[in-house]
Structure formats: C-alpha cells, structure tokens
Amino acid sequence: MLIKNCRILVDGEEKVQDILTADGKIIEIADNIPQGHIEMLDAEGKWVIPGVVDAHCHMRDPGLTQKEDFMTGSMACARGGVTTFIDMPNTIPAVTTAKIFEDKRDMMIGKSYVDYGFNFGGSKNDNSQEIKKVIDKVASTKIFLNMSTGDMLITEDEVIENIFKESKIISVHAEEEMVAKAIELCEKYDKPLYLCHLSKASEAKMLREAKAKGLKVFGEVTPHHLFLNVDDVNANEENHMLLRMKPELKTKEDNEALWEALADGTIDTIGTDHAPHLKEEKLAKLTFGIPGVENSLEMMLKGVDEGKISMARLIEVMCTKPAEIFKIENKGKIAVGYDADLVIIDRDDKSPIKDDDVISKASWTPYEKFNRGGRVVTTILRGQIIYLNKEFYGRYGREIKYYE
C-alpha cells in the first residue's frame, strides 16, 4: 500500500512524506513516491505515528469474557490506535503453567484484530520451573506484590526470588514500599524490571534514583494516573465506584510529578492497564480496574496540546520504548524494515469522548468529561487497514515475536 502525505517525525523533524509498504513492512519513506498499481490511501497531511504498543492489557480471555474477550478488546485497540498489546495473566485459569499458556495461545489464534503477546504469571505456589519452558515465547513474567483483581498476590520472599532468578524480565504490580523491594531484587538478581503503573511522586523518585545507580529498571504510567485524581473520585457517587483501580488515583500533585517524570525520561512508557469491568459490575460492588485502550492515544494527544509532552516524546513512550523494553521484533517505529503498523490521526478533531462510542464490552469510558486531543481515523496493521471511518476489517492479528 502507498500512503500519501503523511505528517511524520524523521529524526525529530516534522515532514510530510509518503510511506510505501509491501508484505506487511515499510519499504520506503520519501517525497512523492509514484503510485504505480498499488492500493493508495491519502493521509492529506494528517499526523501518522507508529502503531501504539500497549504493554499492559487485561483482555479477560478466557474465563471473564462477559467483561472483554480477545476480539472485542482488540477492536477497542484498533479504534484507539493500539496495534500491539500484551495481555496480562490474571485470567481464569491464570496463566501460571506452560500448559495453560500453550492452550491460551492456541485459543486466541484468529480472534484478534491487532498483534498481541502474553505475559506469564508468577504464582504463589512457586512456578519458577514453568518459566523456563515458556521464556522465549512471553514478554515477561508478571508478578503481583500487592493485592489486586484475581488471586495472584505473592508474599513469600523465597518464591518471589526464585521467580526473579528464572525470568528474563519481570513486570511487577508494586505500590509504594513494594516498589523499593522490587528494585532491590532487580539489583540483587541483575534482571530487567518493569514497574507497572507508577501512581505517586515518591514512586517516580525511586525510579529516578534506581536509574541514576545504573539499574535496568523501567517505569510505566497510565493515562488515568496522569489525567485523573482523588478529586474526580470524590466528585459524585457514581465516580466513587467507577474511578477505582489498583493502584488507586492519587493527588493532583502526583499527576504533576508523573507528567514531569514522563517528560524528563524517568518514566519510560505509557501502558493503559486496560482492565474492563461492566458498569453494572462496577456500580454494584467495589471492583478495581477501568478500561483504557480506546482513549489512551487520544488522551495523550491532549497532553501534547497542553504542552505536557512533545509529539516526539509521545511516540517514544507509547510506541518505540515498549517495543524496545520487551524486545518485540519490528514494532514501534516508522522506519524501513519495520512492520507497517500505522495510525492516522486527525489532530483538529477535539470532540468530546463519549460512553456511547465505546467499543469495549465495558461500554463506558473514564474520560467522559474530556475532549480528545485528536481522533484516530485510520489504523493499519502490517500494511492492511483494520480500522477506517468507524468500521473494522480483517482480524489479521497474530502473536508477536521477541528477539535475543
């Protein structure tokens, strides 16, 4: 496919160029590429960025598919400009054995509109020997050091340490003092550590210090921990039930510290922690988790509008860095040889974000009060249109590969 007139960043410089793809890859980026006989799409000078790589999604499949499944979750991704997601293991059954993992892989073939990978789950029963069997096929081992949805909390030090020893990279749900503990283990076992959803100024500070020491620690922040805080939770009774997740929303000062840490390079990625629950479920009983993939890019563009981060930094933290940290092959960049995963954005569309438009089975968005900073108009996966003008095409999604 030939995509004409794409506003892109080339070595930090904004340019309008054409992108030519073949066999799912980008093969040329240049001015005025002749059309020849191939399919053409005109981006009309709109921004085109690499497909977003979201390293933190709970697609609920199998076992909790009333909340989401791989098909609906991946449609929400396509709608939001996410072309690769990594799924979390707290499904039913939880992904804590090689057998369960292989079964899940088989089950998901042909279900997704976008590309995907899996995290393996660390278990309190010490499944570190299982990790060896799957290590080349998973993004990381995910461990929960604090209580959250599912039954995956690990409290025994010996088990946690065995899991660190056997993993290639550890993603961790850790809050406050558990962040400090995870960083200590990262140092002790010399394993890369990915701190999921940092939510506090103090946690960003720990990450900054760990990086200054030269440790291989990476940090993620969610759009909700940047844009929402306790004042939103307390705004009304409904919000008091809806805007609840682990880690919980913090203060306005924390929002600001997290934006700063994102802009200055301390925090490495945006991950949504897409954790859909139905509105009825949320309102009936305190349930932690909120949907994310559909509005993450549109909200982060709002951050660009507000001068909180640059477009170049947005691309880094949403596309390039997550692919690099998890060593995902050919993702995260608009460059020759990379997968032609592209998102066309209408930056002039600042319309309100609405529950009514939501694709996810969750059927609600935590960002109703906001106007988008731009709209995803077209999403392309490996050179094929999967989302255009509110229509979905394909289900070409397949499992990602990891290098090294």
Binding-site ranges for ligand DOR (CB under 6 A): 58, 90, 148-149, 173, 245-246, 275, 288-289
Q: Tell me which of 115, 273, 339, 341 is the catalytic residue.
A: 273
Residue closer to Zn ion, measured from CB, 54 or 273: 273
Residue closer to ligand DOR, measured from CB, 24 or 150: 150
Q: How far is the CB of 147 from Zn ion (least distance, A)?
A: 10
The token pair at 367 is 């960002």
250 touching Zn ion, by CB under 5 A? no
What percent of the chain is helix, strand and coil (3-state, nearest 5)?
A: 30, 25, 45
Q: CA of 244: how far to CAs of 33, 166, 276, 283, in Å?
A: 49, 33, 12, 11
Q: How far is the CB of 148 from ligand DOR (least distance, A)?
A: 4
Spatial CA neighbour of 166 closest among 219, 209, 120, 129: 129
- Residue 79: contacted member of ligand DOR, Zn ion, none (CB under 5 to 8 Å, by partner type): none
State residue 131 phi and psi, 5-degree precision: -60, -40
Q: Which residue is nearest to ligand DOR (CB)?
A: 289
Residue closer to ligand DOR, measured from CB, 50 or 291: 291
DSSP codes, 294-363: TTHHHHHHHHHHTTSS-HHHHHIIIIIHHHHHTTBTT-S--STTSB--EEEEETT--PBP-GGG--STT-
End-to-end CA distance of the chain: 30
Q: How far is the CB of 274 from Zn ion (least distance, A)?
A: 8
Residue closer to ligand DOR, measured from CB, 5 or 363: 363
Q: Which residue is nearest to Zn ion (CB)?
A: 173
Residue closer to Zn ion, measured from CB, 173 or 395: 173
Site for Zn ion in 173-202 (CB under 5 A): 173
Separation of alpha carbons 33 and 26, rounded Å = 13
Separation of alpha carbons 121 and 167, rounded Å = 11
Is 103 an active-site residue? no
Separation of alpha carbons 381 and 394, rounded Å = 10
Q: How far is the CB of 196 from Zn ion (least distance, A)?
A: 5
Contact 227, 367 (CB under 8 A): yes
Helix (H, G, I), strand (E, B) or coil at 45: coil
- Residue 374: contacted member of Zn ion, ligand DOR, none (CB under 5 to 8 Å, by partner type): none
105 Cβ neighbours under 8 A, 6+ residues apart? 118, 137, 399
Q: How far is the CB of 298 from ligand DOR (least distance, A)?
A: 21
- Residue 90: contacted member of ligand DOR, Zn ion, none (CB under 5 to 8 Å, by partner type): ligand DOR
Pick from 166, 268, 273, 316: which binds Zn ion (CB under 5 A)?
273
Residue closer to ligand DOR, measured from CB, 65 or 310: 65
- Residue 199: contacted member of Zn ion, ligand DOR, none (CB under 5 to 8 Å, by partner type): none
**Sole window of 152-160, 266-274, 298-306, 391-399 interacting with Zn ion (rule: CB under 5 A):** 266-274
Residue closer to ligand DOR, measured from CB, 255 or 272: 272
Q: How far is the CB of 305 from Zn ion (least distance, A)?
A: 27
In the DSSP assignment, the letter for residue 197 is: -
Q: How far is the CB of 200 from ligand DOR (least distance, A)?
A: 15
- Residue 289: contacted member of ligand DOR, Zn ion, none (CB under 5 to 8 Å, by partner type): ligand DOR
Question: How many of the chain's residues bind Zn ion (CB under 5 A)?
Answer: 2
Q: CA of 287: how far to CAs of 248, 279, 332, 370, in Å?
A: 11, 10, 33, 23
Spatial CA neighbour of 85 closest among 122, 48, 112: 112
- What residues are paired with 42 via a beta bridge? 4
Q: How many helices (H) and strands (E) does the chain have?
A: 14, 18
Residues found near Zn ion in the complex (CB under 5 A): 173, 273
The catalytic site residues sit at 273
